[in-house]
Amino acid sequence: MQNLKDRVTIYQVAQASGVSLATVSRVINKRGSVTEATRKKVEATIASLGYKPSGLAQALATNRTTNIGVVIPSANYVYIANMLSGITEVAREKNYCLTLFSTSHSREEAISMIEKVITTHVDGAIIFDDQLGPEDINKITSYNIPTVVVDNKISGDRVCDIHFSYDAAMKNFIMDYYAKGGDKPMTFLHAHNTGRLLSRCEKMFIKTHEELGRPYHVMNCSDSYTHTYNEFFESFKSGNSKDTFYICYRDSIAAAVENAAMDAGLNVPQDIEVLSLVGTKYAYIVRPTLTAMHIDMQEAGKRAMYMLTDLLNQELVEKTSRLEPRLVLGQSTIKR
């Protein structure tokens, strides 16, 4: 610890340069009138002392923090981590810092994070937490904070959105399945507190089956691989849940269902078929590979950050961006 260098202050720079604090501040922030000779002297002092300007002080001087608030559910989910990677890449390119606000499937907690975003005085915000409704998002935009909302349709002068069309893609898949001779009744696995995206898909699942006059089932399951595996293993061993097509909202749940089936002596996809709505790299890793709907979440993160920087610079033209899921057929469904 003895080798650590004490932080140099702006007062020391001013004293060593023989100028006022105001003059050093003008040089650092490139604001105001300073002679060329004085500027060079201050810059040479800064270099020799190793002074690093305070981000907070610069924010006060320029009224910009170069800080973006990002509200997301738990980054433990692969698709969330991928999106965050894309946001980070563009933030680095555009010289922005990120402050992460992580929630855990609770609207009350998500609202509290919105309060923290407001009090942090960020330049802008990216919000991907589908527990939040339009009235919650409007609260942050009422403070004139430019905001990009991911997978939540919001309109306003200082807000834009990116929309994922999972529900429409699922409808097309169901209709195509039955049109090509699929005969297994479908079960939608419902997990509590998983947000609006899953709720939209569930409503579309029900609506599509009712329009087609097809039988269907909605089944509660845990948002946990282990719990889901155990529940389905016992069900499959007892002879239940066979000859069914399961729609799961993400890869780990889909993997739990197909692993439980195989461990119980069933065949995938002959005895059961499985679709994952939110596909990630794990769809390719598990065996049998999963049929899944994929959106490049890293690209979604990049797009969100690019849209926000354009919004900050008042250069944004299209305020809504739509990303369509790509269906990738794996071994968990029968090719028809």
* Average confidence (pLDDT) per 10 residues, the chain, 336 residues: 59 87 82 86 87 58 72 80 95 93 74 80 85 72 84 80 92 96 96 80 97 96 93 92 92 96 96 95 94 95 96 90 94 94
* Measured distance CA(18)–CA(38) in Å, rounded: 10
Distance of CA 319 to the CA centre of its chain: 18
Q: What Rg do the C-alpha atoms of the chain give, in angstroms? A: 26
Strands (E) across 239-319 are located at 244-250, 272-278, 291-294
Q: Is 336 helix (H, G, I), strand (E, B) or coil?
A: coil
Q: Is 187 helix (H, G, I), strand (E, B) or coil?
A: strand
pLDDT of residue 85: 95
- End-to-end alpha carbon distance in the chain: 67
pTM: 0.79
DSSP state of 94: T
Q: How many CA atoms lie within 13 A of 236 on its CB side?
A: 24
Residue 118 neighbours by CB distance under 10 Å: 16
pLDDT of residue 183: 93
Select from 129, 130, 100, 131 the least CA-distant residue to 116: 100
Bridge partners of 278, per DSSP, are 250
Question: Where does residue 257 rank: exposed (0-12), middle (13-18), buried (19+ CB within 10 A)?
Answer: buried
pLDDT of residue 196: 78
Select from 233, 229, 269, 219 the least CA-distant residue to 252: 229
In one letter, which amino acid is 281? Answer: K
* Measured distance CA(158)–CA(155) in Å, rounded: 8
pLDDT of residue 3: 45
pLDDT of residue 144: 80
